[in-house]
Structures are given as structure tokens and as C-alpha cells.
A = this chain, B = another copy of it.
Amino acid sequence: MPATEIIERTLARGGYRLTAPRRALLEAMQDLDDHFTAEDVVTAAPEVGRATVFRTLRLMQDIGVVCQVVLDDGSVAYRLTSGGHHHHMVCSQCGAVADFTSHDIEDVLQQLADRTGYEIDAHRLEMYGRCPRCRALPDE
């Protein structure tokens, strides 16, 4: 949950202009669910042009403020992120996404690289299941 201010500073640091549309989109994304589609953003910020939404989404990914989540049906959603490498756990019941990091996972991947001769310089791990809260619920 990155503060608007931090994000704006990140933008500036990258040499990007701090424009009204970018501010508006940022705010819109913060008001949206924990993950959202490009179209959600278009709808949530009708005053901003469609092209700008897509451009901004890409920009924010580049500077690490927004990340992609691959849902279990293969579709992609976006999500504000506090930056840094991490993974996702998507609850199939309530739809919530949680961020995860794990040294163990990174270690195992490094070992895999060593063992196979591949040079892994990025990876993506998405997990699907049920969150503790949903598991605790009575119902089916």
C-alpha cells in the first residue's frame, strides 16, 4: 500500500513528469479493488483518455509501482505494489490477492539454475487456493 507521495517521488526520480492524468489514475487505482483490469481503470477515471490509461499502466509497471497478477484462468490483472520482487497468492473464493516473498523459493530457484545450466534472471510465481480467512468460514 504505497503512499501517493512516495509514488510521485518515484515518478520524478525516473525523470517522468508529474501530470494531472497520472495523479488521477493513481488515485483511481488506490480506490479500486486489490487488483483491477485496465478497463476498470478506464471506467474509474473517465476524465482520462483511454490511451493514457494503458500508457500509464505500462509506465507504472516500468517504475515498479504496479505489477501484473496472472489469474488462474490465464487473464492478467494489475495491482499497486510497494515495489520489490514478490509473488502472489490468489484466493479462488474471495478473489483477494496477497503478496509473498520467500528466501527459500529464491534459493531453490538458484539451485535449479546451477544444476541445469540455465541463467535465470527473472521469474514469476503465482499461487491459487484459499486464504486463511476463507478457510475459516463455516459454509462450503
Binding site for B on A (CB under 8 A): 68, 70, 72, 74, 76, 89, 91-92, 98, 100, 102, 104-105, 108-109, 111-113, 116-132, 135
CA A92 to CA B72, docked complex, whole Å:
24
Q: Let me know if B108 and A104 touch, CB within 8 A.
A: yes
Instruction: Take A125-B123, A129-B121 as given contacts and tell me if A112 and B116 are in contact as well, using a CB distance cutoff of 8 Å.
Output: no
Kindly report which residue of chain B lies nearest to residue A130, judged by CB atoms. Answer: B119
Q: Let me know if B126 and A123 touch, CB within 8 A.
A: yes
Partner of A70, one of B70, B111, B113: B70
Partner of A113, one of B104, B119, B129: B129
CA A98 to CA B116, docked complex, whole Å:
11
Kindly report which residue of chain B lies nearest to residue A133, judged by CB atoms. Answer: B117
Partner of A120, one of B89, B109, B119: B89
